Structure 1
Amino acid sequence: MGRAPCCDKANVKKGPWSPEEDAKLKEYIDKFGTGGNWIALPQKAGLRRCGKSGRLKWLNYLRSNIKHGEFSDEEDRIICSLYANIGSRWSIIAAQLPGMTDNDIKNYWNTKLKKKLMGFVSSSHKIIRPLNHHHYQTPNSH
């Protein structure tokens, strides 16, 4: 037995979101909040979308505190340092970089930073050590 479906697949729009859909979701959440019920939210906002799709769209793209654009050299150093210490725990890494989503950091690591780092390591044959001047706490550290 699997999970119950999150929505009525027959009546749900798939594919890229339109700017009008983005605006409807943002306007609804700005006015009423999420209410913690992502399954019902798209319908309440007048959208024919799955709750999971609405949640991901909001969390990864539409929130006003999300930073879009290039990563700085300092952010690169923080990501590399944390990755060296805790691996691919993207949500913990994102918690140390305000405005960044775990998904953005994961995608940036896999498409650019890892390749950049591997090129640097292979060309210089130097070991990259984590930065020691930052203290990062994970949920299990005390």
Structure 2
Amino acid sequence: MDKQKAQIWIARVLVTAVFAINVQCAIQFIAWPESYTYAYQLSGASAEAVVRGYGICFLMWNATYPPVIAAPHRYRVLFIVVIAQQLIGLVGESLLLASLGQAAGLGTLAASITRFIIFDGAGAVLLVIAFALTMRAARSLKEPAE
């Protein structure tokens, strides 16, 4: 395998890792919302609906990943959209956490949001690395982008 193809495969693995964790989280939120309501300091049937809704949103968010995984060097614009989605999540969660301030009784919620910030930050780093590898390989392959 030549260097360019190896770079594209590494990019696929990195994007797939972020995608797999996102989808795993989505499925868990949809299938077992009661396991996660406490983390958001919610309770009851409405809390389960909220957590399921988060799961559905996560699935919608990840609809952009499969083409990027299949051909990251061809779907560069979509790849940028995937990175933008990740960064929107990271910034939004950070602002959400900041909006809690020092409010009493929200420690569990703050910890849950912090976990998402850590994941989305790590995911953003992996996606940017994958994009850089893809761009380097695409220049060498001189394949058209879609």
Please state which band the TM-score falls in when normalised by the shorter chain.
under 0.3
Higher helix share: 2
TM-score (norm 2): 0.27
Question: Which structure ranks higher in relative contact order (CA pairs < 8 Å, sequence separation ≥ 6)?
Answer: 2
Q: Which protein is bigger by CA-based radius of gyration? A: 1
